[in-house]
């Protein structure tokens, strides 16, 4: 494309509506603000944040997502990031691990170590966390279909390191509902999956009370193409479905609700994003109090992590992505996020290099420590525009949640593919608006220049021997482990899975200790529970 005049943007640069469909006023006025909705930081309904002292008391956790290849390579990367001042680690897992296929499975081979680390059994986890003290750092795992198994494996590694389970901190994503809609790593049908998740949450509350056993995520639905309002609405609806399931399985909402956490994307519309977080936090508190009668403020609080970047980043003029991530990080901070992950400038199209990963980390550190944003709680609270937009966003979210309810609730909406089809329509709309230039993306559809794409040579290349090494290590494990223990623990797992009144977690931990593989545990559970049948309706 040439750098001609048609590529330049003139005239009003913003539509009077944002993508969530909220009207944005030219001038917001004092009369637009309802003071009763605002309240004080640390107080119900927590519009201004869950802590009375905001980031002055405790800065958000700076957490970068990484993991690739084999456990050895990821272990090295984690140590590198911890030395650079990162305060938690975030583990990306490869697709075979996420779907529960061992490295030797025919469909696994092309994917081993590609989008994360291959973690097929406890011996790999021992390598992954070698030299990293699990009582001192918090670990976050992006894992869903096999989350209960990976959590069991983490507990088993802690046992091996002699770290008491109650000292463990971190998060497993463990949110299967959005996998059916956007990310696709489902394994079992919806209902047994809900049981598995409930088992892991209730078990975790008991043995590792500082660990977050679920991170209910809107991020993937958003990055796939939903609006900000849809992202929050579907996530809150999914969250309430988990609360219902946990209550049905005998959980005490006053207790388990304290350990529910959330996870979102931040894209570029600054006030839309901040309003989304503030409205979501207020709504969750209201649901907890009004629908479930929750009294303890800690169990009403909406705690969330965010990712800045994702599909808001483009390959053209990629250095602009650093600026995008900086704007998004500020929106996350004004929204009161508990942890922030910043995408690297090249993340939209490849695994980040050491250079780009460090720059992403520095972007957060500059905002956290130089900008002064962290000094005062909810610094934009009381802004006419932001408060008005927060109220409108809350109404919009409720409207979308009511649509899901009137369809018959999230489980039905997912089983029948309704939510998936809705998302596809929103995603198509976003693409059409970008193609037409109605949504401006600098360097992509306006202000273009030739030869400004990311150059080859800055591409991170994965060691091509990864799949071979992972497979060989796995075959060695099969030859050396105690097969009697493997068979015994798997038989007990099958029995527990068949009995709805059992909690499967202790059996999964026993399997891990016996070096049963993720694929073997999943195959065992599939026999009892079946597999999800994907509804295909476009």
Position 436 contacts another protein (CB under 8 A): yes
Name which position in 429, 447, 477, 488 contacts another protein (CB under 8 A).
429
In whole angstroms, how close is the CB of 344 to another protein at the nearest point? 14
Comparing CB distances to another protein, the nearer of 166 and 435 is 435
CB 121 within 8 A of CB 515: yes
Residues in the chain: 538
Position 427 contacts another protein (CB under 8 A): yes
Residues 455-474 that bind another protein (CB under 8 A): 456, 459, 462
For residues 407, 408, 410, 411, the Cα torsion angle rounded to the nearest 10 degrees is -130
Token pair listed for 55: 């980031």
Distance CA 520, CA 531 (A): 15
DSSP letter, residue 316: B
Name which position in 47, 121, 185, 235 contacts another protein (CB under 8 A).
185
Position 349 contacts another protein (CB under 8 A): yes
DSSP letter, residue 249: T
Q: Does the CA dihedral 396-398-404-408 come out positive or negative?
A: negative
Residues 189-228 that bind another protein (CB under 8 A): 224-225
CB 335 within 8 A of CB 278: yes
- HSE (side-chain half, CA atoms, 13 Å) at 254: 4
Position 27 contacts another protein (CB under 8 A): no
Name which position in 7, 368, 424, 494 contacts another protein (CB under 8 A).
424
Comparing CB distances to another protein, the nearer of 111 and 273 is 111
- Residue 459 region by backbone torsions, left for phi larger than 0, else alpha for psi between -120 and 50, else beta: beta
CB 73 within 8 A of CB 130: no
Name which position in 433, 452, 485, 528 contacts another protein (CB under 8 A).
433
Comparing CB distances to another protein, the nearer of 141 and 515 is 141
Q: What is the CA radius of gyration of the chain?
A: 23
Beta strands in 95-152 (DSSP E): 138-142
Binding-site residue total for another protein (CB under 8 A)? 46
Contact window for another protein (CB under 8 A) among 179-187, 287-295, 387-395, 469-477: 179-187
Q: Give the number of other CB atoms < 10 A from CB of residue 130.
A: 14
Position 423 contacts another protein (CB under 8 A): yes
CB 186 within 8 A of CB 145: yes
**Secondary structure (DSSP) of 165-183:** GGG-EEEE----HHIIIII
Name which position in 115, 368, 411, 478 contacts another protein (CB under 8 A).
115
Residues 369-398: x/- map of binding to another protein (CB under 8 A)? Answer: ------------------------------
Comparing CB distances to another protein, the nearer of 205 and 312 is 312
In whole angstroms, how close is the CB of 234 to another protein at the nearest point? 14
Name which position in 255, 362, 444, 513 contacts another protein (CB under 8 A).
444
Contacts to another protein by CB under 8 A: 95-96, 98-99, 101, 106-111, 114-115, 179, 182-186, 224-225, 311, 314-316, 349-350, 423-424, 427-429, 431-433, 435-436, 438, 444, 453, 456, 459, 462, 534, 536, 538
């Amino acid at each position: 494309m040439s750098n001609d005049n048609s590529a330049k943007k003139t005239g009003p640069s913003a539509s009077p509506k944002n993508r969530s469909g909220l009207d944005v006023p030219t001038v917001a006025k004092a009369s637009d603000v309802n003071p009763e909705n605002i309240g004080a930081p640390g107080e119900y309904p927590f519009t201004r944040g869950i802590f009375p002292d905001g980031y002055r008391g405790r800065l958000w956790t700076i957490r970068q997502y990484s993991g690739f290849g084999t456990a050895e390579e990821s272990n090295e990367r984690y140590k590198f990031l911890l030395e650079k001042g990162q305060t938690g680690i975030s583990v990306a897992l490869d697709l075979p691990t996420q779907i529960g296929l061992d490295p030797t499975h025919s469909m696994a081979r092309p994917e081993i170590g590609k989008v994360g680390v291959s973690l097929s059994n406890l011996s790999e986890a021992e390598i992954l966390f070698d030299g990293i003290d699990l009582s001192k750092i918090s670990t976050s795992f992006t894992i869903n279909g096999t989350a209960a198994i990976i959590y069991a494996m983490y507990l088993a590694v802690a046992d091996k390191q002699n770290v008491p389970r109650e000292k463990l901190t971190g998060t497993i994503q463990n949110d299967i509902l959005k996998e059916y809609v956007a990310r696709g790593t489902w394994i079992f049908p919806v209902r047994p999956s809900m049981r598995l998740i409930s088992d892991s949450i209730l078990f975790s509350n008991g043995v590792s009370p500082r660990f977050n056993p679920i991170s209910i995520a809107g991020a993937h639905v958003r990055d796939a193409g939903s609006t900000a309002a849809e992202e929050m609405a579907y996530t809150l609806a999914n969250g309430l479905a988990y609360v219902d399931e946990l209550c049905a399985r005998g959980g005490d909402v006053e207790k388990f609700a304290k350990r529910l956490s959330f996870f979102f994307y931040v894209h570029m519309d600054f006030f839309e994003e901040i309003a989304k977080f503030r409205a979501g936090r207020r709504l969750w508190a209201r649901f907890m109090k009004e629908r479930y009668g929750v009294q303890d403020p800690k169990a009403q609080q909406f705690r969330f992590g965010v990712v800045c970047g994702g599909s808001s980043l483009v390959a053209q003029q990629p250095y602009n992505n650093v600026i995008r991530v900086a704007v998004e990080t500020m929106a996350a901070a004004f929204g009161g996020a508990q942890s922030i992950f910043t995408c690297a400038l090249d993340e939209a199209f490849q695994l980040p290099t050491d250079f780009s990963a460090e720059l992403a980390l520095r972007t957060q550190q500059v905002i956290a420590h130089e900008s002064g944003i962290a000094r005062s709680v909810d610094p934009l609270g009381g802004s006419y525009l932001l408060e008005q937009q927060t109220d409108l966003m809350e109404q919009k979210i409720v409207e979308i949640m009511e649509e899901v309810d009137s369809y018959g609730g999230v489980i039905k909406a997912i089983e029948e593919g309704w939510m998936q089809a809705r998302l596809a329509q929103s995603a198509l709309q976003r693409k059409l608006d970008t193609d037409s230039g109605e949504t401006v993306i600098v360097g992509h559809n306006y202000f273009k220049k030739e030869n400004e794409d990311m150059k080859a040579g800055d591409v991170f290349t994965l060691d091509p021997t990864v799949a071979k090494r992972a497979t060989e290590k796995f075959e060695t494990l099969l030859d050396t482990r105690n097969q009697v223990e493997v068979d015994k623990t798997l038989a007990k797992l099958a029995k527990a899975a068949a009995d709805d009144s059992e909690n499967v977690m202790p059996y999964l931990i026993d399997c891990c200790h016996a070096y049963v593989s993720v694929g073997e545990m999943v195959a065992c559970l599939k026999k009892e529970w079946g597999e999800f049948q994907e509804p295909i309706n476009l």
